[in-house]
Amino acid sequence: MKKLFILLLALLLISVPILVRILTQETSERYERETVLMDTRVRIVAYGDKNTPDYINKALQKMRELENILSIYNEYSEAYQLNKNGYIEGPSPHLLYLIKDSLYFHNLTNGAFDITVQPLLDLWSAGLWKANETTQDRMVNETLSKIGSDKIVVNENEICFKAKGMKITLGGIAKGYMVDRGIEVLRDRGVKSALIDAGGDMYCVGLKPSGEPWTVSLENPDNPRQAITSFKVSDMAIVTSGNYERYFSPDKKVHHIIDPRTGFSASPCISVTIIAENGVQADALSTSVFVLGPDDGINLIESLPDVEGLIIDNDKSIYRSSGVSRYEAPIS
């Protein structure tokens, strides 16, 4: 009887880890929610227990709070007031951080990344694409006097512009920042497996319950229902910038990614995908590399630690950084 009891106890102990794994899988449910922030569809997917939907809501709440600070279209936001008045006193830590980081990327990319391009975006969206080349050149050259991150003065108590008529856009960096802060909320509450996607600005937390990394596919610009390749990502940000999503002109020749050095739409690339440690870095670099083009863009990526990228140029040639193969899982 004693031997039988010991055998049963041993079998019970052996079975405990299996029971724990089964219970863990059964209680790790998938939760998802979508909303619109910064004029972009935002989706959060997270695995966890019954408290996870509340955590998702808190992450979205934090992201909406940031939208109310960083959106240049919300008349009550700090970014809107900065554009309206040319200065803002007592800026929040969030706006201050993003302005300083934007200046960092401006210097890093030799001016390819520049948040002061909003006057140019206003010009093109107002219909400059309808004008002849002579008029376009004249109006762009006049507007370029308002462009340049070197004309932004930043200190802890104030942000101001040196030139009259300057405006910023945070469209090339704010979504990445909002994703980072949303992920921070989820992690602080113990979420181990999640994804936030803000219109192509993504961060993937941990692994899916299956033990696999998150799969992110890169759309074929000519056929959105097809994928060119895919990436396996865990605890990294991945952002794609493309010229095939937002156009000013019906012929799709004038798009929203402006080269701040010329005042015209950046033309060397169709798509840039960046994988980096955080959303801010991936967001800013995807825009910068798009403006720089394949050669200078790859050189920039290779100069940065823990950053990889894939570039598709206008001829649809594909350029890969030296380490992107660690993440890439080509479509069969």
pLDDT value of residue 28: 80
pLDDT value of residue 233: 97
| Token pair for 203 | 């961060």
Distance CA 61, CA 97 (A): 20
Each residue of 219-232: pLDDT tens digit? 887 777 788 999 99
pLDDT value of residue 251: 57
Could you please report the per-residue DSSP string of 167-219?
----TTTHHHHHHHHHHHHHHHTT--EEEEEETTEEEEES--TTSPPEEEEEE
| Domains of the chain, CATH where assigned | 78-161 (1.10.3980.10), 213-326 (3.10.520.10)
Question: In whole angstroms, how far apart are CA 293 and each of 49, 255, 285?
Answer: 45, 15, 12
**Which runs of consecutive H residues, i.e. helices, occur in 28-147?**
52-70, 78-85, 93-108, 118-125, 133-143
Q: Is 136 helix (H, G, I), strand (E, B) or coil?
A: helix
Sequence-ordered strand ranges (E) for 17-56: 29-37, 40-48
Type of residue numbered 43: R
Ranges of residues in the chain whose predicted pLDDT is under 70:
1-27, 243-254, 332
Tell me the helices (H) and strands (E) count for the chain, helix number first. Answer: 9, 13
pLDDT value of residue 171: 92
pLDDT value of residue 14: 39
Distance CA 218, CA 224 (A): 9
Question: In whole angstroms, how far apart are CA 59 and each of 65, 133, 182, 199, 206?
Answer: 10, 46, 5, 16, 17
- 26: Cα within 13 Å, side-chain hemisphere: 6
pLDDT value of residue 17: 35
Let me know: does 131 contact 264? Beta carbons within 8 Å. no
Distance CA 15, CA 97 (A): 51
The pTM score is 0.89
